[in-house]
């Protein structure tokens, strides 16, 4: 909102702003002196009212001193940008999880991919929940950190799954829950060392990296802890749950549902 009753717009915006600032200060001093005290002294109250209607601005320009107000431009920043950013984050995360599901399905089995996606989705959800509790802003940097977390958590889970697959090949008659537990114990030292060193690195970024990467490093600080937990306590138990649900107790046994289907017996 700009006023030009003296016709000095040709002098430039900065000079005109300074001129009106001086005029406004003189008016404020005059109106604050007795017996005129109590009148409107801050013209910002008239000019910077959020969402002021054009008709109100027209009346201000017509009936108040410093007439000749003109709206040079009007800009409204709404929630559209935030909504677009939120949708893009959801789409990118789901696309990444879907691609990883297909890859693990190809390399292992479908249930391995489902278990890994469940654990990784858990990591992203918990991290976003902590971000919400801390009242942190979701930016493009944070979205990049979430995708980094997806890759890191998935890699940690695949390490455990690879050991489970190796032990399945070597021990055909072992009870499956015991085999999964043994596989976790065999990879536990590697998981703790790798996650611990990664945690120290991202913690250093969080403490000393500055405000620019503060959100990025905070996501990874939280995500490394949650991801390490989920690869052990969520992804692997999903495999055991599925195996027990299908009725296959030992590694070499076919789940009973498959046997019934092979015989043509309904479930």
- Statement to judge: residues 91 and 207 lie in one domain: yes
Lowest model confidence (mean pLDDT) among 2-6, 23-27, 151-155: 2-6
Residue 222 to residue 235: CA distance in whole angstroms:
18
Report yes or no on 196 lying in a domain: yes
Report yes or no on 172 lying in a domain: yes
- Statement to judge: residues 151 and 55 lie in one domain: no
Instruction: Say what the pLDDT of residue 18 is.
Output: 56
pLDDT single digits (tens) 216-238: 899 999 999 998 888 888 988 88
Report yes or no on 75 lying in a domain: no
Which of 37, 70, 103 is the last residue before a domain boundary? 70
Q: Determine what percent of the chain is predicted with pLDDT higher than 90.
A: 7
- Statement to judge: residues 56 and 84 lie in one domain: no
Residue with tokens 């015991």: 178
Query: What confidence tier does 262 reach under pLDDT thresholds 50, 70, 90?
Result: very low
- Statement to judge: residues 65 and 120 lie in one domain: no
Which of 39, 70, 101 is the last residue before a domain boundary? 70
Q: Is 70 helix (H, G, I), strand (E, B) or coil?
A: strand
- Statement to judge: residues 104 and 212 lie in one domain: yes
161: nearest Cα among 102, 105, 223: 105
Query: What confidence tier does 260 reach under pLDDT thresholds 50, 70, 90?
Result: very low
pLDDT single digits (tens) 37-70: 555 544 454 455 555 666 766 666 566 554 455 5
Give the number of other Cβ atoms within 10 Å of residue 57's Cβ.
18
| DSSP string of 162-202, one letter each residue | HHHHHHHHH-TTSBHHHHHHHHHHHHHHHHHHHHHHHHHHH
Residue numbers of the domain that contains 181:
80-263
What CATH number corresponds to the domain at position 154? 1.20.1640.10
Residue 38 to residue 32: CA distance in whole angstroms:
7
Report yes or no on 179 lying in a domain: yes
Residue 168: is its pLDDT beyond 60? yes
CA 40, 41, 45, 48 torsion: positive or negative? positive
Residue 112 to residue 167: CA distance in whole angstroms:
15
pLDDT single digits (tens) 67-126: 455 556 655 555 555 667 777 777 887 888 888 888 888 888 888 889 988 998 899 899
- Statement to judge: residues 113 and 176 lie in one domain: yes
- Statement to judge: residues 86 and 23 lie in one domain: no
- Statement to judge: residues 133 and 112 lie in one domain: yes
Per the document, the length of the chain is 267
- Statement to judge: residues 51 and 141 lie in one domain: no
HSE-CB of 257 using CA atoms within 13 angstroms? 7
- Statement to judge: residues 66 and 84 lie in one domain: no
Give the chain's domain count.
2
- Statement to judge: residues 56 and 130 lie in one domain: no
- Statement to judge: residues 39 and 123 lie in one domain: no
């Amino acid at each position: 909102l700009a006023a030009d009753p003296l016709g000095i717009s040709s002098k430039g915006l900065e000079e005109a702003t300074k001129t009106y600032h001086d005029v406004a200060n003189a008016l404020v001093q005059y109106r604050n002196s007795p017996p005129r005290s109590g009148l409107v002294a801050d013209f910002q109250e008239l000019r910077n009212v959020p969402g002021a209607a054009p008709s109100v601005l027209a009346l201000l320009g017509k009936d108040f001193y410093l007439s000749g107000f003109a709206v040079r431009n009007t800009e409204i920043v709404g929630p559209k940008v935030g909504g677009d950013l939120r949708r893009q984050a959801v789409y990118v995360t789901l696309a990444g999880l879907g691609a990883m599901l297909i890859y693990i399905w190809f390399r292992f089995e479908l249930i391995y991919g489902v278990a890994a996606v469940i654990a990784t989705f858990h990591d992203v959800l918990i991290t976003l929940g902590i971000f919400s509790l801390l009242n942190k802003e979701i930016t493009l940097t944070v979205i990049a950190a979430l995708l980094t977390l997806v890759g890191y958590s998935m890699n940690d889970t695949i390490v455990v799954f690879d050991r489970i697959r190796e032990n399945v090949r070597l021990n055909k008659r072992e009870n499956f829950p015991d085999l999964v537990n043994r596989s976790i114990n065999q990879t536990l030292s590697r998981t703790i060392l790798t996650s611990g060193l990664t945690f120290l690195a991202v913690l250093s970024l969080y403490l000393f990296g500055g405000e620019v990467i503060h959100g990025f490093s905070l996501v990874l600080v939280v995500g490394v802890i949650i991801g390490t937990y989920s690869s052990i306590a969520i992804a692997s138990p999903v495999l055991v749950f599925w195996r027990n649900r299908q009725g296959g107790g030992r590694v070499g046994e076919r789940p009973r549902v498959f046997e019934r289907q092979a015989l043509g017996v309904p479930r």
